[in-house]
Structure 1
Amino acid sequence: MIKTKKISTKIKFIGALLIFLITSVIATTIYLNQQNIKDALTINIAGKQRMLTQKIAKNVFYINYDSTQNFTELDEACDEFANGLSILKNTDNNKKVLAVPTNEISTQLIVVSNLWNSFYKDVQNFKVIINSNKNNEAKLKEIILSIYKNNTILLDNVDKLVAMYTKYSEDKTNFIKTFQYTSGAILFLLFAYSLMQLKSIESHVNSFMKYSKMLVKSKNISNLAPLKVGSESESEIIEVSDTINCFIKKINLAVEYSNEALNQSEKASSKLEELTDEFDTIINKLKNKSLVTKHLNNSEDIVIESTEELINSTKKLMNLKKELEKLTKSCQDLKNQKV
């Protein structure tokens, strides 16, 4: 047996599904957008590291060329690079930067960190040599060459790190787009499904209303056809149709009893007319008393038979009355239930 659904259940199910899906789309989109904002900050920090490596190398060149001992800008660039690298490795909630998102980026951060340690060591050695009063040109030249060499390697690996963060962010953006398109398609299908369900409900209700109007306008109540509903109809429609069909069945039974009683009455009336005619014929034509008596006896039998038929008709009329009383009571009960 096919399990039917209530109209209210269908509407609640569709509404709950719509609310859940829309809420999920909004919540997921907001979350992913927040993640994109954090990714943008992370990419900005990683991109700034490239600039800082160049800034450090430039300051080393200027200090060596001018023979100055002003390391302020150099120290600031080194501190900023170290701080940025620490944020990328360990996260910083104040800057809204998340932890390392992938193992690939984590590995690259370790490589950059090792290169930075070597590069920073050369920078510190450069400062020591510049601050010393000793004439150590060979050592200074060696340190400067090491700084320039390591700077290029560090820059390339920082570029690679930035590319990884950018790719991760782009993949997430593509995921957001795919998710939004998929959610849009699901919403469209859900709206289409909702429309189909509403049209189905409307069709069933229209069929019921059409039959009800036909029943009200019908002048002939004999042999009323029952209301037919499909098994896919809603339970409310099926329940109402069953009630109406029960009512129609009782009306048809009452009409059937009435027609049968009417036929019996017509037969009895016809018999009585025949009996009357026979009496007139017998009295006028028969002179022999014995023959009259014989015919009277025959007529008496006919009267008895007619009387029995009248009794049967009376019983059927009484049954009809009982059925009509039951029908009236059922209608009153149905009315009281609705009230």
Structure 2
Amino acid sequence: MKNGIKLSNDTFTFNKLRRFYIFALLTIAVTVILSQFLIQYNLESQLSDSRIINISGRQRMLSQKLTKEILILNFVPNKDKKDEGIKRINDIITLWKFNQNALEKGNDSLGFPKVMSKELSHLFVAIKPNFDAIVTAAIQFKNNQTAGLYYKENQELVQIILENGDVFLNKMNQIVGEYDKEAHEKVTLQSKTEYFILFFTLLVLLLEFLFIFKPTNKKVENLISKLLSSEKKAIKLAHDTELISEIKENSVKELKSLNYAMENTLLYCRVAPDGSIIHIGEKFSKLLDYNPFLSEKPFAQVLTPIEKEQQLIERIISEKQRTGWQGELSISGRRGQSIWLDMSMVPVIIRKEESELLIICFDITERKIAEEEVERLNAENIADKINQQKIISSKIVENQENEQNRIAKEIHDGIGQMLTGLKFSLESIDLNDKEKSAQKIEYLKKLSLDIIKGVRTATFNLMPPELSDHGINSALAKLAQELSKLTGKNILFINKTNFDIRMDSLVEINIYRLTQEAINNAIKYADSSHIVVQLSHSNAILSIIVDDNGKGFDVSAVEKKRNSESGMGLLFMKERIQYINGRVFVNSIVNEGTRITFNIPI
């Protein structure tokens, strides 16, 4: 009777463990499936958000491109170029209106949502008047240009486009920022959800180990002991034997299931205190290229063929077999490969004065390789920056030396020779010959004016007086005027926001040199006929934009060629603007033109 009660209790216990095990597996499966659904959903959402942010960024570019094309068209007298400009403006307006309508009202083909947040709705309502004003003015401008009418009205339309274009860009920046903020909030929520699911899955695995694997192991050992003793009473206890056989069959099935799960999911091994292997998992055997049926080796020799590594593992087993051990080990595989293991040794008491070590490992080789690669790339990056700084320093010294030689040559060959000529002419004046004296005096007046002009030109190149007297606005206007005269290019300066604030002298001279460098590059390399310099400001930022209609270039390709003159020019711009805590943005399209933007904090 008592034996029957015990067997019934064992059956109940195994059923309970089985239910726990099935429940744990179902829980893990549900969390994995739920995690995958969440990941796929959020990936689709992020793809949609990235497309929206990309199209929003293109809207800013298209508005600037539209403004640029209208400005160029307003100054182009050639009819062929005028027709091409009208066609480009028409294409830009069509694409711009389509994108804006898709952003504002949604678009199924692009995957844009038709419902948006209140913040985005308010921002689109706020930007619509500026958008409509630009579109209306651009279409009217295009029609006027097509008909060749209303020159004065065209100037007013250009002014409307310029005034609304800056406001549109600022509001579009707010929309892009809001899209980015909402996308970031979605990613943050997904991250938190994934962490929660991961934590919950790990908790289920831990509970499964504590309440299923360990109790099952103990129950199986007790069951086998009972089966061995029950075999001697088989004749007298036929009914009890039948029950025991049934329990045994169920237990073996559960044990096989648990053993299969452990063999194929964990890197584990059971090791005796002397280091010999009691049992090694199938997955662990494959990783170590070891067949337990063909040879019997101690655990240290199975783990690695290197003698030093074997001694380290044997020492750990000897010293930590009672307290356990956890840490990371680097071992050499039998094929010469390096393997990193996160190893845990857990002492298990089988019976009194009989114990073994349960060793559970995780293969972290890929993670370690990634960490080493990151360290290598960091070291290369530091070395590259040091070499880059050396090149910059040498180029700065070289440019300073060239500038000094150029100034000396201008003074010697230009002003110096004119002064020498002035001296000889003064000495050759004969006051008795009034007619020749009057002619020489007229010649001396002209020569004096040339000397004054040469001195002013050299002084303007060194430090324009407008910069120190009136500030960056006047200096840039003078620069555009002088270079337009010297080169014959159509160079236009526009102060869009009537900026007239004086800044620190170091900041002003750097802004002047940067703008001068950008204009010179457009003249020298871009083969452009029109250059527009725009100055604008907000409460915190002074912005200078240099646009040209030249041949353009591949920005990424030029930046990689740091030893070339053009590559070093861009690098010097970035280095110089860093001195005044500013930023430079270079956008160029081959065969269309280049835009260089300097943003300096006020």
Cα deviations by residue, 1:50-92 (Å, 9 ceiling, x for unpaired): 0000011011101111145421100111111111112112322
Query: Could you tell me whether the CA contact under 8 Å between 2:66 and 2:89 is conserved in 1?
Result: yes
Higher relative CO (CA 8 A, sep ≥ 6), structure 1 or 2? 1
Q: Normalising by structure 2, what TM-score?
A: 0.35
Q: 1:8 to 1:162 in 2, by over 3 A?
A: same
Q: Report the Cα distance in structure 2 between the residues aligned to 1:125 and 1:199, rounded to whole angstroms.
A: 82
Please tell me whether residue 20 in structure 1 is matched to residue 35 in structure 2: no
How far did 1:37 drift? 1.2
Query: Could you tell me whether the CA contact under 8 Å between 1:85 and 1:113 is conserved in 2?
Result: no
Please tell me whether residue 34 in structure 1 is matched to residue 44 in structure 2: yes
Corresponding residue for residue 272 of structure 2: none
1:109 aligned to 124, 134, 148, which one?
124
* Amino-acid identity (%): 15
2:203 aligned to 185, 189, 192, which one?
189
Q: Match of 1:149, as an amino acid?
A: E
Please tell me whether residue 201 in structure 1 is matched to residue 224 in structure 2: no
Corresponding residue for residue 440 of structure 2: none
Please tell me whether residue 76 in structure 1 is matched to residue 86 in structure 2: no
Q: Report the Cα distance in structure 1 between the residues aligned to 2:73 and 2:219, rounded to whole angstroms.
A: 90
Cα deviations by residue, 1:107-161 (Å, 9 ceiling, x for unpaired): 2122223321121111122224334454542x33222111100011111111111
1:173 aligned to 187, 196, 216, which one?
187
1:66 aligned to 65, 76, 85, which one?
76
Q: Match of 1:7, as an amino acid?
A: L
Please tell me whether residue 150 in structure 1 is matched to residue 164 in structure 2: yes
Q: 1:199 to 1:169 in 2, by over 3 A?
A: same
Query: Could you tell me whether the CA contact under 8 Å between 1:89 and 1:100 is conserved in 2?
Result: no
The 5-angstrom pairing of residues 205-220 of structure 1 reads: 205-210=220-225
Specify the SS of the correspondent of 2:109: helix
Structure with the bigger percentage of strand: 2
Q: Report the Cα distance in structure 1 between the residues aligned to 2:176 and 2:54, rounded to whole angstroms.
A: 9
Q: 1:41 to 1:177 in 2, by over 3 A?
A: same
1:160 aligned to 165, 174, 183, which one?
174
Please tell me whether residue 127 in structure 1 is matched to residue 33 in structure 2: no
**Structure 1 stretch 203-212 or stretch 193-202: which is displaced more?**
203-212
Q: 1:100 to 1:210 in 2, by over 3 A?
A: same
Corresponding residue for residue 271 of structure 2: none
Q: Report the Cα distance in structure 1 between the residues aligned to 2:147 and 2:231, rounded to whole angstroms.
A: 117
Query: Could you tell me whether the CA contact under 8 Å between 1:36 and 1:169 is conserved in 2?
Result: yes
Corresponding residue for residue 332 of structure 1: 238
RMSD, aligned CA: 2.9
1:91 aligned to 106, 110, 120, which one?
106
Q: Match of 1:183, as an amino acid?
A: I
Q: Report the Cα distance in structure 2 between the residues aligned to 1:180 and 1:25, rounded to whole angstroms.
A: 7
Unaligned segments of structure 2, at least 5 residues: 1-11, 247-602
Specify the SS of the correspondent of 1:94: coil
Corresponding residue for residue 65 of structure 2: 55
How far did 1:179 drift? 2.4
Corresponding residue for residue 133 of structure 2: 118
Q: Report the Cα distance in structure 1 between the residues aligned to 2:148 and 2:87, rounded to whole angstroms.
A: 20
Q: Report the Cα distance in structure 2 between the residues aligned to 1:151 and 1:90, rounded to whole angstroms.
A: 22
Q: 1:217 to 1:111 in 2, by over 3 A?
A: same
Q: Match of 1:122, as an amino acid?
A: A
Cα deviations by residue, 1:155-188 (Å, 9 ceiling, x for unpaired): 1111111111112222222223222222222221
How far did 1:44 drift? 0.8
The 5-angstrom pairing of residues 288-327 of structure 1 reads: none
Q: Report the Cα distance in structure 2 between the residues aligned to 1:14 and 1:110, rounded to whole angstroms.
A: 52
How far did 1:18 drift? 0.8
Structure with the bigger percentage of helix: 1
Q: Match of 1:109, as an amino acid?
A: F
Q: Match of 1:147, as an amino acid?
A: I
Q: 1:216 to 1:135 in 2, by over 3 A?
A: closer
Q: Report the Cα distance in structure 1 between the residues aligned to 2:238 and 2:148, rounded to whole angstroms.
A: 119
Cα deviations by residue, 1:183-214 (Å, 9 ceiling, x for unpaired): 2222211111111112123234434545666x
Q: 1:133 to 1:201 in 2, by over 3 A?
A: closer
How many residues are treated as equivalent by the alignment? 227
Specify the SS of the correspondent of 1:93: coil
Q: Match of 1:142, as an amino acid?
A: E
Query: Could you tell me whether the CA contact under 8 Å between 2:133 and 2:161 is conserved in 1?
Result: no
Cα deviations by residue, 1:252-305 (Å, 9 ceiling, x for unpaired): xxxxxxxxxxxxxxxxxxxxxxxxxxxxxxxxxxxxxxxxxxxxxxxxxxxxxx
Q: 1:217 to 1:126 in 2, by over 3 A?
A: closer
Q: Report the Cα distance in structure 2 between the residues aligned to 1:178 and 1:7, rounded to whole angstroms.
A: 32
Specify the SS of the correspondent of 1:92: coil
How far did 1:35 drift? 1.3
Q: Match of 1:150, as an amino acid?
A: N
Q: Match of 2:221, as an amino acid?
A: N
Q: Normalising by structure 1, what TM-score?
A: 0.60
Cα deviations by residue, 1:225-260 (Å, 9 ceiling, x for unpaired): xxxxxxxxxxxxxxxxxxxxxxxxxxxxxxxxxxxx
Query: Could you tell me whether the CA contact under 8 Å between 2:230 and 2:241 is conserved in 1?
Result: no
Query: Could you tell me whether the CA contact under 8 Å between 2:106 and 2:113 is conserved in 1?
Result: yes
Query: Could you tell me whether the CA contact under 8 Å between 2:63 and 2:165 is conserved in 1?
Result: yes
Q: Match of 1:12, as an amino acid?
A: I
Q: Report the Cα distance in structure 1 between the residues aligned to 2:67 and 2:200, rounded to whole angstroms.
A: 55
